[in-house]
Amino acid sequence: MSIGLIALLDDIAAIAKVAAASLDDVASQAAKAGAKAAGVVIDDTAVTPGYVIGFAAQRELPIVGKIAAGSLRNKLLILLPAALALSYFMPWIITPLLMFGGAYLCYEGVEKVYEAIVPHHAQAHEAKLETVALNARSLEDEKVASAIKTDFILSAEIMAISLAALPVSNVWTQALVLALVGIGITVAVYGVVALIVKADDVGIALVKNPSASGLAGIGRAFGRALVRGMPFFLTLLSAVGTAAMIWVGGGIVLHGLEVYGPPAIGHAVEGAAEAAAHAFPSVGGVLKWAVVAAISGALGLLIGAVLLPVVEFVLAPAWKLVKGVLPGRKQDV
């Protein structure tokens, strides 16, 4: 009896070791896959705070929480099963879908640039696209919905990059790795976003510290700098986020053109990047990345500029017409 028990315990220990090794492998794959998508993660972090600016302080964290919850739903309930299904049944459609998402990011980014340059025209453009919000609640809902839509495209890119970085394995391992990547990235991105949007409140708390100690004095000075600097930082971050949307969107479309277009496109981009790297070998790696990013950004600006009138004069009127004839929907006045 005791020998049988010892043998059973040995078997359990062996199974536990295999399970632990499998979990370590999954964690390692998740870390590597997440690292591949680091550029898009940074873009996601830079874009989101712009959707919170302008709301009362007590609404900032709830709004971030709503966007984070929407992001998690996007990744786990929609994108994860869709990515696995498409990669198995229709792998050819993934790149065109990503190109469509990239074009949407270009449009969103260029629309923000347009709003910054000619705000009055941009307001007229927005009015043609949808009904203006009537109260703070609807404005908040619109912002959250817009943020989740943008996050959906970025999340799709994150999941696609992560899936492409995984070695060939069974579908359950891929699903577990993608789930870990999705949860980890969402927690990291929106944790950082929450810290950013509440930094000014932390600064105010430091300024109000009544202690006479030297450490408290340093804290008050840091708090004042934080309060004064955060508006500029948020403005800068919003600009970086807008530029990132255009750059990432253009990069996605450029990659698709390299896949489906003539080989000359990829060769031209690679040639320009290599030429810059050879000209300044000490910073060759940085220059190579910068050239590709600049080309992606220029393409993103062009795509967004083309899509602005297309959306305003073709897609938006068509969508309003469809809404007007759908059963149970009232036509827009």
The string of pLDDT tens digits covering residues 48-67 is 777 777 777 788 888 899 99
pLDDT of 77 reads: 92
Q: Indicate the helix (H) or strand (E) that contains 213.
A: none
* Mean pLDDT confidence for 104-126: 77
Instruction: Tell me: pLDDT of 182 over 80.
Output: yes
Instruction: Map out the domains of the chain as residue ranges.
Output: 22-325
Instruction: Tell me: pLDDT of 21 over 70.
Output: no
Q: Give the integer Cα–Cα distance in Å for 191 and 45.
A: 9
pLDDT of 283 reads: 81
In degrees, rounded to 5, the angle at the alpha carbon of residue 314 between the alpha carbons of residues 325 and 247 is 125
Residue labelled with tokens 């970086």: 240
Nearest Cα neighbor of 56 from 128, 157, 137 is 137
The pLDDT confidence band at residue 326, using thresholds 50, 70 and 90, is low
pLDDT tens-digit readout, 254-282: 988 888 888 888 888 888 888 888 888 88
Both structure tokens of 182: 């999705």
The overall pTM is greater than 0.75: no
pLDDT of 134 reads: 44
Instruction: Tell me: pLDDT of 331 over 70.
Output: no
Q: Give the integer Cα–Cα distance in Å for 168 and 171.
A: 9
Instruction: Tell me: pLDDT of 319 over 80.
Output: no
Q: Give the integer Cα–Cα distance in Å for 79 and 154.
A: 11
Instruction: Tell me: pLDDT of 304 over 70.
Output: yes
